Chains A and B, each alone.
Chain A
């Protein structure tokens, strides 16, 4: 094996299939129709016909057992289309709870990213507004709780199907220990990173298209250096985000987990999955925020009018990124992974 920045033939095929699927079945009017809930049952049904909901589940459970390298390709295509389906959350939940009705997508599953509070409530679960099953931690256990979804979300920045869900009301199945949530969160980080890369990529292209078309002072505004240079910073952020998401996926698929990979900061060499997953998420969130911000800005006043599509991307760039928690806290968590916990060092 050797360094290779191209997609494999399989990844190319998947990218083409899902790129075409989302372009055809999730054009921007589908995204708009799904607001404010942020979920399209019709689009979910079409994904089922591709057997997409079962891609991440192990093959023993009837899933496709797809590699993370495959899933990130689909997640990026989903992000490019800002497709209103909780496919990423469903995939992650299906790894812990590969019941047949989840693998088939008949039931939608979601993952609670934070443990339930003292009242037994999982706050603002991504996909929680529409999920029949929520997987998460409560009272020191990883559990799956089946209960009817509210099918409504509080109005939110990213038009995401968020909802509070009970960890105790409904049919509750214990899946394992609380610590088993951690690897699921890392999968969620990598896949959400890939979706944010898709947002960043698409927003960059929308900005380029617009500044070529919009004329002021008798020229396309894209011929002005001030605008060119703002856009010229974006490919590094987008490509860097894509490579980090793929590197994290590669580490996972190569089983460089739980200390099997390298963390050598003196050499700048990191091949261990967990820190790569954290890096991918943090960088992709920044890339999507900057890309949508610049692109919206170069649309001028049109950019923030609801009629224009760039605001849909701008809001999701922030909305999807913040669901996982405060980036400052995530950076400190990354520091703990790279250099050991702060508390252990404080007394030295």
Chain B
């Protein structure tokens, strides 16, 4: 085994870092927190202009290490990055399954950091059981007519596109009869209602009332949509959003240094445990990226990394808040807040991490069945 990054990767990391540093300051971070929209146009555009989004896009022949680096550097900097992370995933899906016209129109704009996309997957009655969704698309002449609603369409309020999973044939079996569309958000019939959350982000419910789109916005083949969303799940898990322990520990350490808590042996012991788990999370993530890079299936490895990293993040964020006492309850921007309020931020932010990208339980099913070879339980 070898644990050294190549010079090329080190240079790439430096470039990513410089780009983030040039566009992220306290004001940008405060704005993201105030609005609940983890989105920064200037950063996205700069990453796009530098060609860094094109490098980080997941998919065959791409370098998964670039996506890991971009995500982990953004996490370390506390940068509002969610909209870019989502754009990268959909760019990768369109690159793998979309038409030439879709790639020219959509993928190019996503990778330029100029346009954004939200995920229209989950519904009020179809979450972990995604095949249970009921949003329908029906052909009417040469147009599709879409009706239904989607939950957790985070970033819908700033998105130019929605990546929409629909039912097009209810009789085609559990995984048959789905069709995926990429649709402009300004298409008549689409409306957005905010969902405000206790985490740091705003999400949305989106409604689709007789939304009419042409066949040119079908991604992949009609009725073959499950294949398309499966590509997406493979891109999403265990490479991005697993690096939160390092900034958590670093900020806690800074606070502990200011207050003198750093000399407390009990807290030191727990800090060491966070450092170990941060290393393990990083190694498992790097392994997922490395496996994808050598062209092997990394699906269960992504689940392994994701569950470990996000569960550890919750454990340790909650510990940090307790350890910081009442000051650990104070939010970003409040005078006297422990670690300038980042600890409160982390305790909020870590909550959705264990269900975004597939719940811990769905990922454990995946590990049990496909990694350990246990029987299907559902």
Contact = CB atoms under 8 A, between A and B. Distances in A.
Interface of A: 1-8, 69, 204, 208, 211-212, 219-220, 222-225, 228-229, 231-233, 235-237, 239-240, 243-244, 246-247, 250-251, 254, 265-268, 270-271, 276, 279, 282-283, 328, 331-332, 334-336, 338-339, 342-343, 345-346, 348
Contact of A3 (B265, B286, B375, B376): B286
B88 interface: no
Secondary structure call for the A interface: helix
B170 interface: no
Contacts of B268: 331-332, 335-336, 339, 342
Contact of A267 (B76, B308, B363): B76
B109 to A, nearest CB: 32
Contacts of B280: 236, 240, 243-244, 283
A339 B269 contact: no
B269 A332 contact: yes
Interface stretch (B93-101, B198-206, B366-374): B366-374
A208 B263 contact: no
B278 interface: yes
A244 B269 contact: no
A211 B263 CA distance: 46
B279 interface: yes
A246 to B, nearest CB: 4
A4 B290 contact: yes
B287 A338 contact: no
B262 A339 contact: yes
A265 B253 contact: yes
A201 to B, nearest CB: 12
Nearest to A329: B269
Closest 10 CB pairs of A and B: A268-B246, A240-B280, A228-B368, A236-B308, A232-B364, A346-B263, A335-B268, A232-B367, A243-B283, A331-B272
A2 B246 CA distance: 22
B1 A224 contact: no
Contacts of B243: 268
B185 interface: no
Contacts of A331: 268-270, 272-273
B105 interface: no
Contacts of A225: 361, 365, 368, 377
Interface stretch (B2-10, B29-37, B210-218, B313-321): B2-10
B68 to A, nearest CB: 10
A2 B2 contact: yes
B320 to A, nearest CB: 15
A268 B282 contact: yes
A328 to B, nearest CB: 6
24 contacts: A3-B4, A208-B372, A219-B375, A225-B365, A228-B364, A231-B374, A232-B307, A232-B365, A235-B304, A235-B367, A235-B371, A240-B284, A265-B253, A265-B275, A268-B246, A268-B249, A268-B278, A268-B279, A279-B276, A332-B269, A338-B275, A339-B253, A339-B262, A348-B260
B305 interface: yes
Given A228-B369, A232-B371, A243-B283, 4 more contacts: A211-B374, A239-B304, A240-B283, A268-B245
Contacts of A222: 374-375
A247 B364 contact: no
Nearest to B371: A235
Interface in B48-62: none
Contacts of B371: 232, 235
Given A231-B374, A335-B269, A5 B279 contact: no
Interface in B320-374: 361, 363-365, 367-369, 371-374
Contacts of A246: 1, 3
B129 to A, nearest CB: 14
Nearest to B378: A225
A254 B375 CA distance: 44
Secondary structure call for the B interface: helix
A228 B3 contact: no
A334 B262 contact: no
A231 B3 contact: no
B250 A244 contact: no
B291 A5 contact: yes
B188 interface: no
Of A219, A240, A250, A279, the most chain B CB neighbours within 10 A belong to A240
A335 B272 contact: yes
B307 A236 contact: yes
B182 interface: no
Contacts of A254: 4
Nearest to A336: B268
B180 interface: no
B65 interface: yes
A239 B287 contact: yes
Contacts of B278: 268
B271 interface: yes
Interface string B65-100: 100000000001000000000000000000000000
A99 B184 CA distance: 77
B3 A3 contact: yes
Of A5, A229, A267, the most chain B CB neighbours within 10 A belong to A5
Nearest to A241: B280
B272 A69 contact: no
Contacts of B361: 225, 229
Given A2-B4, A339-B271, A265 B249 contact: yes
Contacts of A335: 268-269, 271-272
B269 A282 contact: no
Contact of A7 (B1, B257, B287, B291): B1
B2 A243 contact: no
Contacts of A220: 375
A213 to B, nearest CB: 12
A266 B250 contact: yes
B377 A223 contact: yes
A244 B246 contact: no
Given A5-B291, A331-B269, A279 B283 contact: no
B279 A250 contact: no
Given A2-B6, A4-B290, A246-B1, A228 B249 contact: no
Nearest to B308: A236
A295 to B, nearest CB: 12
Contacts of B284: 236, 239-240, 243
